[in-house]
Amino acid sequence: LLIGAGCALYPLGWDSEEVRQTCGYISGQFDLGKCEIGWAYYCTGAGAAAAMLLCTWLACFSGKKQKHYPY
């Protein structure tokens, strides 16, 4: 959840002075100007979504079949 929230809030910082100097003064929130988002941002978002789905799926099926030990 925290990684997903971080990816969602990341574009809010694009109107800072450092980003405006690097990407052009037309950049703002959710508008990156001349810069592009790299593949790491997309991989992080996809990994967070995959982890959320996998953990939910594993939690749902973890208690379905319990082994009975003979001792």
Record the pTM: 0.67
Rounded to a whole number of angstroms, the distance between the first and last alpha carbons of the chain is 41
Mean pLDDT of all residues in 44-70: 84
Token output for 60: 């749902």
Q: Can you give the three-state secondary structure of 20-55, one letter per residue? A: HHHHCCCCECCECCCCCCCHHHHHHHHHHHHHHHHH
pLDDT at 50 over 90: yes
**What is the per-residue pLDDT for 40?**
92
**pLDDT, tens digit, 9 for 90 and up, residues 5-31:** 888 888 888 888 898 888 888 888 888
For all residues of the chain together, what is the average pLDDT?
86
Residue 31 DSSP SS3: strand
Alpha carbons 36 and 19: distance in angstroms, whole number:
12
Alpha carbons 51 and 63: distance in angstroms, whole number:
19
